Amino acid sequence: MTTIIDRSEFRNAMSRLGAAVNVITTDGPAGRQGLTASAVCSVTDTPPTVLVCINRSAGAHPHLTANGVLCVNVLSGRHQDLSGAFGRHGLDVAARFAAASWRVVATGSPALTDASVSLDCRIVRTEAIGTHSVFFCEVVGLAMGPDPEGLIYFNRAYHPLADVPT
């Protein structure tokens, strides 16, 4: 028996599933591109692998697919405006990248200089599920930022997280 869940009701429920805010970037033969994503999680540590879910209608989707590489830039509380810049429709690619400082990592993808952590990845598998592609990405390099801070998105709002001494 299949239960039909209303799309709007499901989206409202998922808004209460707090998630880290990330800027996903890529560069290569298809060009430089990036977008904000919260559907990112660890898969395994052997080999180190994460998954990244991207709507196939996103402007960055064909770039990610063609380039075959990406960088997951985990944002901190000070990056709320950057998240908006990469999430905003109509803001061109140059303006998005001009909003922060970047360095190029081994795969050629841009990594946010002051990210909480940057994961340089090679896409090793892609699965189409509904409206999205699930990219399985082997982490080939990483850089930890100086501050263990984070930014989560919960109930349609940003919430900065700071490392609290115990």
**Nearest to 23, CA basis, from 91, 116, 89, 162:** 116
Which H or E run includes 9?
A: helix 7-14
The per-residue pLDDT for 148 is 84
The highest-level CATH class for domain 19-146 is: mainly beta
* pLDDT at 45 exceeding the cut of 90: yes
* pLDDT at 2 exceeding the cut of 90: no
**Nearest to 64, CA basis, from 150, 131, 124, 146:** 124
The per-residue pLDDT for 165 is 65
The per-residue pLDDT for 163 is 73
What percentage of the chain's residues is helix, strand, coil (to nearest 5)? Answer: 20, 45, 35
pLDDT tens digit string along 126-150? 999 999 999 999 999 999 998 789 9
Q: Parse the chain into domains and list their residue ranges.
A: 19-146
Q: What is the mean pLDDT of residues 42-68?
A: 97
In Å, the largest CA–CA distance within the chain is 51
* pLDDT at 37 exceeding the cut of 70: yes
Structure tokens at 112: 């946010």
pLDDT bucket at 166, cuts 50 / 70 / 90:
low
